[in-house]
Amino acid sequence: MIARLFVQTIAWVAFTAVVLFVSAGTAQWPSAWVFLAILAAFGIAVGLWLAQYNPALLMERMGSIVQREQKAWDRVFMVAIVVLFNAWLGVMAADAKRFHWSQMPGWAHSIGAVLMIASYLGGAVVFRENSFAVPVVKLQRKRGQRIVMTGPYAVVRHPMYAVGVLFFLGAPLLLGSFWGLAFVPLVLLLVAVRALGEEKMLRKEFPEYEDYAARVRSRLFPGIW
């Protein structure tokens, strides 16, 4: 399991590096190296922690983005997200380095790094509370799935998506791309659509979800939505 974690993380970071540096036209880009270092360091660190704390969840999270038990609509969604994510990286690289459309102050890069790290740490908090926080939308009958109502789930219904938004805000700031920030409204829309789709499944499969949703009104941002 540990070997697989390292191989998958390194392969993903290496592919991301290719997308960034080819789009940028150069590898002499300190912010991109910091971005990649955060992906690698925190991806492996959280993975190693999960290997000790909840190895079953780690195995699920290292699975394919397209699975047999997954809802059909979510298969399409996940493939589209992967394509959009890499296109987003390419646009930010072209913006920040190849064409220099955007100019950001140094403090913005620092805030971006902090937001990305906060996203990973927030994800770890979610994983600690919810053993069923897998990347795909599916019913996990064999793992005894239940509705988690404690910890961050007592504040919002989808804390994993909420901390994910921090990543999508932080990455453009760190890489120095205002065009990257322009993608954030689309990210929020896609997250909202997926959250609603996931809730439809949960309401159907878990009668107690109605009571939970009535108590925890906010899906992503307390008092907003």
Residue extents of the structural domains in the chain: 2-215
* Residue closest to 89 by CA, chosen among 167, 28, 161, 162: 167
Residue 109 has pLDDT above 90, yes or no: yes
- E strand residue ranges, 5-73: none
How would you class 162 by CB atoms within 10 Å of its CB: exposed for 0-12, middle for 13-18, buried for 19 or more? Answer: buried
- pLDDT at res. 110: 97
Q: Which CATH architecture group holds 2-215? A: Up-down Bundle (1.20)
Q: pLDDT per residue over 15-48, tens digit each?
A: 999 999 999 999 999 999 999 999 999 999 999 9
The H-or-E segment that residue 136 falls in is none
Q: Which two tokens stand for residue 96?
A: 């920040």
CB distance 131 to 56 below 8 Å: yes
Share of the chain above pLDDT 70, in %: 100
Tell me which DSSP letter residue 157 carries.
S
- pLDDT at res. 207: 92
Average pLDDT over residues 109-114: 98
For 136, how many CA atoms within 13 A lie in the half-sphere containing its CB? 24
Residue 70 has phi, psi (to 5 degrees) of -70, 145
